[in-house]
Structure 1
Amino acid sequence: MLKNLIKKNLIAPITALSLLTLSAPSLANIYIGAGAYKSETEGVPANDDEEVSAFFLGYNIVDSNIFMFSVEGGYYDLGSFKGTANGDDYKSEAEAYTIAGVAYLPVGPFIELYGKVGIAMVEGETVINGDKYSDDGEEAFGGLGMSIDILDTVDIYAEYLVFDNEIESEMAGVGVRLAF
């Protein structure tokens, strides 16, 4: 009787746990990354540039030897610029939260080329002579990059990104991506 009671009470939890395990995304397809970028903007006077950071989290949907595709969410500091130009005092700062698709093409055993395209939710503000202008909105962004695979779970990457926002941000940077 005790054997039947244990058997009946364990079947449901084991079945539920098995179904959850099969339906949950694999941790092996998740990656995180961070990088240091040089940000440049065309929309503020004097065409300043600055060092900024970025962080992202991604999930590999397709991972084969000839093509890889992932979705990625990220945060990019687009920079903070201030100065005087043409007699006007200005200050501009912006950041972007992104959702993107990333397509990778392996070109060797350790090197991948990739393209990234997505939507950026930009939050920005420009102040010229005390007058504030909001640069908030959803804009397209995209870029190209190259990564070098080290130890199969660590990538060193370099990429160039363009944000089609009011201040026309461009970024070039390097960073590290860790796969789980």
Structure 2
Amino acid sequence: MNTMKTDLHHYLRDVREAMVWKLDGLSEHDIRRPLTPTGTNLLGLVKHLAGVELLYFGLVFGRPFAEHVPWLRQDAEPNTDMFATAEESRSDIVGLYQRAWAHADTTIEELPLDTVGHVEWWPGNKTTLHRVLVHVIAEANRHVGHADIVRELVDGAVGLNQGNDFMPAVDKAWWADYHAAVTKVSDGFAQQ
């Protein structure tokens, strides 16, 4: 058994679950609501990561996904993978993401880490499954970080998953004091 591959795959699985958890308990409005000037929203992040896995663990290694995914066309409108249309339901997007996991997992399990793939949008375009795994884990974690912030803005929920927030065990009053202290320091630089 390849311990490195097993470790990498474990981290990829964890970040996938964290991303989907960010939708739990929220309304359709809240999972679609853009909370940054660039439109970042929770369901869009899930949709984007589904495409990432399909491209990197499918197309790159000559293992195409059986389903048609319109936003992965080369002529697709920019950022169509970053939001769910009115016709795309939460279950559609999450279901696609989970099917993308299964497709990716087959690639990861069947190919050695030194398998060469071709990323046509990278300079030089040759890479290995090892590098793709590291790249996708990094990208997924980056987007889960975005989701952490968006989810906190929606309802205050933070952390890796329900019951495991990795935050200090303090009450709301402590957080209010902490926020005030951070604000006081930043306000001291406002006129500089």
Same fold (TM over 0.5): no
TM-score (norm 2): 0.20
Higher helix share: 2
The structure that has the greater radius of gyration is 1
| Greater length-normalized contact order (CA 8 Å, ≥ 6 residues apart) | 2
